[in-house]
Amino acid sequence: MTERFEIVFLGTGSPLPSADRCGAGNVVVAGETNVLVDCGWGAARRLVPSGVRPGAIDVALFTHMHTDHMTDVPDFLFQRWTGGATTPLRVFGPEGTQEMIDGFLLALRRDIGFRQAHHGDKLHPDGIKVEVTEVPASKDPLPFLTLGGLSFESFEVDHFPVVPAFGYRARYDSRSVVLSGDTSFCESLAAASAGADMLVCEAMNAGLVTQLIAMLKSAGRDREAGLMSDVPSYHIATSEIAKLAARAGVGEVVLSHLIPPISNDAGQEAHFMAGMSDVYRGAIRVARDMQRVAVTGRNP
Ligand SMILES: [Zn+2]
Ligand SMILES: [Zn+2]
């Protein structure tokens, strides 16, 4: 029987506010193991409605230290603790991860005391603790974690000036999925994606970004337009994703971390992906928040 290997999309947006798309966050589900990858704004609140019990997550990975990938960490820690966790959360990520966790725990220090005063030993003291391992940056996939049959490798991507920034490759039951993290087109992502059954890729629609910049300028919002014009330099355009996926021979592509965000509308999603299938012949889809997508492999 094929083991369950799925990606649960908690947040498919970016820092840009969106009614439909929260900040970045996924859960890799392999058999009974759940691994959280990033926890941006709103991602923690998506866990329960997505069918993932926060108390059943014991490992979290972070791709990089941008807000849209980490600002729901405090809420996740509390949901996990009050959800019955009795062991520390194990966290892996690039340099800066320890500082990020320490900062959030400092901000929570009083509330942790208040909850303990109120609930006593109904809350396990270890359930709010975090053990961080910072993984060294490597352009080549670097194995760093094995959980039963589920294994993870990290690889450094190009999200300059965010250094280091990671993508991750997960393998389970003879299948593999690559999570790009935030990146512009880079050879390390192409190499890590070679032969993967699924590529979950951040995605920017260059035409829509150009339209957004023009709209901001015409509204006199020049500072915002200027900031938006910096965005394309460190994200990957849909046309580049199609080329990369074709070259790497990936089984299918799922777009997430959409820039700019679009609503949950099939027409908008088709427009966002337009032109990709001319270059890449595999299946392409736009992920929605709280969607669960199975990594099926080439010969299911
Ligand atoms: Zn991001
Ligand atoms: Zn980023």
Q: 16 CA to middle of ligand 1, Å?
A: 9
Bridge partner list, 87: none
Q: 53 CA to middle of ligand 2, Å?
A: 26
Q: Mind listing the domains of the chain with CATH numbers?
A: 5-294 (3.60.15.10)
Q: 132 CA to middle of ligand 1, Å?
A: 21
Q: 288 CA to middle of ligand 1, Å?
A: 16
Ligand number nearest CA of 14 is 1
What gap in Å lies between CA 131 and CA 59, rounded to an integer?
10
Q: 258 CA to middle of ligand 1, Å?
A: 9
- What number of other Cβ atoms are within 10 A of residue 214's Cβ? 12
The alpha carbon of 198 is separated from its chain's Cα centroid by a whole number of angstroms, namely: 14
Catalytic position from the list 20, 38, 58, 68? 68
User: Which residue, chain included where needed, has tokens 């991750």?
Assistant: 168
Ligand number nearest CA of 16 is 1
Ligand number nearest CA of 202 is 1
Q: 153 CA to middle of ligand 1, Å?
A: 20
Asked if 157 and 181 touch (Cβ cutoff 8 Å), the reply is: yes
Ligand number nearest CA of 38 is 1
Residue 68 bears catalytic tag: yes
Q: What is the pLDDT along the chain (300 residues), one digit of tens a residue?
A: 689 999 999 999 999 999 999 999 999 999 999 999 999 999 999 999 999 999 999 999 999 999 999 999 999 999 999 999 999 999 999 999 999 999 999 999 999 999 999 999 999 999 999 999 999 999 999 999 999 999 999 999 999 999 999 999 999 999 999 999 999 999 999 999 999 999 999 999 999 999 999 999 999 999 999 999 999 999 999 999 999 999 999 999 999 999 999 999 999 999 999 999 999 999 999 999 999 999 998 754
Taking CB atoms within 8 Å and a gap of at least 24, the contacts of 268-276 are: 271/205, 272/203, 272/205, 272/208, 272/238, 273/238, 274/238, 275/238, 275/239, 275/242, 276/238, 276/239, 276/241, 276/242
Predicted pLDDT at 122: 97
Ligand number nearest CA of 256 is 1
Q: 182 CA to middle of ligand 2, Å?
A: 5
Predicted pLDDT at 300: 46
Predicted pLDDT at 144: 98
Predicted pLDDT at 284: 98
Q: 2 CA to middle of ligand 1, Å?
A: 33
Predicted pLDDT at 2: 85
